[in-house]
Homo-oligomer: A and B are copies of this chain.
Amino acid sequence: MSDFSDELRPAEPQAPTILAAERSRSNIGVEQLSQHLLSRGGFLERQSKILRVIENRPIFSKKNQLNLARPDRYQLSLARSKELRRLAVQHGWNQDDYRVAQYLVGEVSPYAIHNSMFITSIREQCNPEQMKHWLPLAENWEIIGAYSQTELGHGSNVRGIETTATWNNETKDFTIHSPTLTAAKWWNGSLGRTANHAIVIAQLLLPENGKLRSYGPHQFIVQIRDMKTNRPFDGIVIGDIGTKFGYSFMDNGYMLFKNFKVPHAALLSKYTGVSLDGKYIQPKNQAIVYGSMTFIRASIIMDSRLVLARACTVAVRYLSIRRQFADRDVGGPELSVLDYPTVQVRILPLLAATYALHYTGEAMFKLYWDTRADIEQKGDLSRLAELHAASSGLKACCTLLVADGSETCRRALGGHGFGGGSGLIPLVTDHLDKPTVEGDSWMISQQTAAYLIKRMTAAVSGKCSEPIDTQFATYLRTKQQQQSRHYDIYNNEADILAAFQDRVSHLAHKAYESRIVAKKSWTELMIDLHRLAIAHSESILIENFYNAAFGNQAPSPSIDTSTRAVMQDLFRLFALTTIDAKSTEFVLSGALDTEKLTILTTRVQQLMKAIRPHAVRLVDAWAIPDYLLDSALGKEDGDVYNALWKKAHLENPLNLEVFNPDFRSEEIVMGEGEQRARERMERLALGVEGHEQREGGKAKL
């Protein structure tokens, strides 16, 4: 609609001009740096290719999605996911193409669990016969599967799940049953409305000597809905669990069984099984499965760097553009908000963290593939424990960093950060589950600590075998010789790394003394153990970043010398701000003396000043397309205010209606009358109940 706002422009200076000037202040080669960060597997070319296909198709438009009712939000994501699969067929996309398409759409598809956990379970847990039957059906999406493990009453403690699968020797089949309400499967993605099959995790019960004996949780593949009607079979109750903090596009589901029969072949039997006469077949070595969980955790780190990079892209671009207040001492025009140290200190360390996450993500992938090769080619499992410990701790540390960091970026944007135009609403809400899923971050950190205590025990007894053992042995030697271990963190980057490693060694030794020597209870030690795991993870982040920024090997793909110099400042900033947040641990470990800390903030401010001119190019290098960003504040061209205006004035459905503000009338939409308004409002408030009243029927659950 045309009105006088069409003629108005934002006040000078124009935002795109500011952003262009910001870019001209730095000589970082953005394209080169993008290649350095993102060229693996041809990611950048793939991203461009896919973007061209999807970004202008109407159903992939993101402009209205925050306005939608939750049921509609699911429907739209279902429609998009189906369209993506059709496009994949049409354009001959491979798995990587498809994954990038999903990344750009920016939501987790109702088919996501089918594509990951369901198909992975078939690949990794099926015997050859099962594989031959199920894999083509799943890969061709002839069937759609969910992964049903977590229950209403049990999440992290998988051994505690209540669903049972009882072998019937007469009928040669299993009965799947939910003995209680807390046995209800819960949270299972794609299960709520989409899937017609599921991998169901249930306690395997075999009759032995007239009693049932439990063999613990096992995987069963079960058809749960009719292929024609998509309604659940008798003996199964399924549904979607309802609204969530984010993830409104996904149908996380619940499911109960009442004596539901499945055939003998339903038990996935690559490593284990039940013979037709009801005897349990002991599992073979499942190390490789153990490995695949670490792969998921390594992937979470790699994904998380791009999540934080999105938040930083929005924050750095908008805060460079936004002006507020003149300098208190010298006056003049209003300053760029990113010139305030109180804003820099919230954003620039996070920008540095995106790089830290990157190099550790790369290192974890390498460790994963090396370990896997060792296992497959040499049957060598020796690095598996290290890999598992590192990936657990890093998952905890990195997901917390990214969840908190995204919200820190959002808040630093001031008022506009609270608005839909920030683009950070889905970013924050859809990723706040990450510290919880795939192992709660406060719980799996205990696994890392257990590993470190074990290694310290080995080091104490002089039996070194794993990489970290050497670090521990050195620490013990220095400690014994009462050598000074105060490091020069301001002038020597190798000392920074040493300080982080000493902190880990110190905490590991304390944990060893409490647990192994003084035999304290594990539960009592948990807080210290969590800190130890985070310290270890931060040390890994520092080590990999140090190697990239200061290592002897030239960075590959290469970056020029001046870009590497900025990278070195990012390393220093990440390291010093991490030290600042946990300074007492460094002091108590003997790595730093207190006096050193007095100039920490000064040094951090110097580094931020040095990095500041490069900030826009450093986020540009992450190559996040505007379509993915979906942010008026973070647009690549910087045209912030026109974009915010357009979103509010031309794309807001609430502005389509005029309302009656007179409290004496029950009328809501002007002219609709009181009776109609009253009925509408009660239906909105009561939901399903209101729906039943309106339809005069029962809900079709």
CB distance from A464 to the nearest CB of B (A): 27
Q: Is A558 an interface residue (CB 8 A)?
A: no
The answer to whether A645 and B184 have CB atoms under 8 Å apart is yes
The answer to whether B653 and A244 have CB atoms under 8 Å apart is no
Q: Which residues of B contact A244 (CB under 8 A)?
A: 418-420, 425
Q: Is A343 an interface residue (CB 8 A)?
A: yes
Q: Is A486 an interface residue (CB 8 A)?
A: no
| Cβ proximity bits A470-514 to B, threshold 8 Å, 1 near / 0 not | 000000000000000000000000000000000000000000000
- Cα–Cα, bound, A256→B594 (Å): 56
Q: Is A25 an interface residue (CB 8 A)?
A: no
- Cα–Cα, bound, A518→B63 (Å): 52
Q: Which residues of B contact A661 (CB under 8 A)?
A: 78, 110, 144, 194-196, 230
- Cα–Cα, bound, A213→B587 (Å): 59
The answer to whether B230 and A152 have CB atoms under 8 Å apart is no
Q: Is A554 an interface residue (CB 8 A)?
A: no
Q: Which residues of B contact A689 (CB under 8 A)?
A: 63, 651
The answer to whether B663 and A420 have CB atoms under 8 Å apart is no
Chain A: interface residue total (CB-CB under 8 A): 177
List CB contacts (< 8 Å) of A521-542 with chain B.
521-524, 526-528, 530
The answer to whether B421 and A436 have CB atoms under 8 Å apart is no
Q: Which residues of B contact A583 (CB under 8 A)?
A: 583-584
CB distance from A680 to the nearest CB of B (A): 8
The answer to whether B687 and A242 have CB atoms under 8 Å apart is no
- Cα–Cα, bound, A86→B193 (Å): 42
CB distance from A602 to the nearest CB of B (A): 9
The answer to whether B659 and A59 have CB atoms under 8 Å apart is no
The answer to whether B688 and A641 have CB atoms under 8 Å apart is no
The answer to whether A642 and B181 have CB atoms under 8 Å apart is yes
Partner of A584, one of B154, B346, B443, B597: B597
Q: Which residues of B contact A414 (CB under 8 A)?
A: 155-156, 436, 440
List CB contacts (< 8 Å) of A193-208 with chain B.
193-196
Residue of B nearest to A322 (CB): B153
Tell me whether A654 and B74 are in contact in the complex, defined as CB-CB below 8 angstroms, given that A237-B3, A524-B605, A641-B152 are known contacts: yes
Q: Is A254 an interface residue (CB 8 A)?
A: yes
Contacts A193-B654, A342-B526, A414-B436 known; 15 new A-B pairs at CB < 8 A: A4-B256, A5-B181, A9-B180, A69-B653, A75-B680, A152-B641, A229-B670, A245-B425, A340-B523, A429-B429, A584-B587, A584-B597, A594-B594, A650-B701, A657-B700
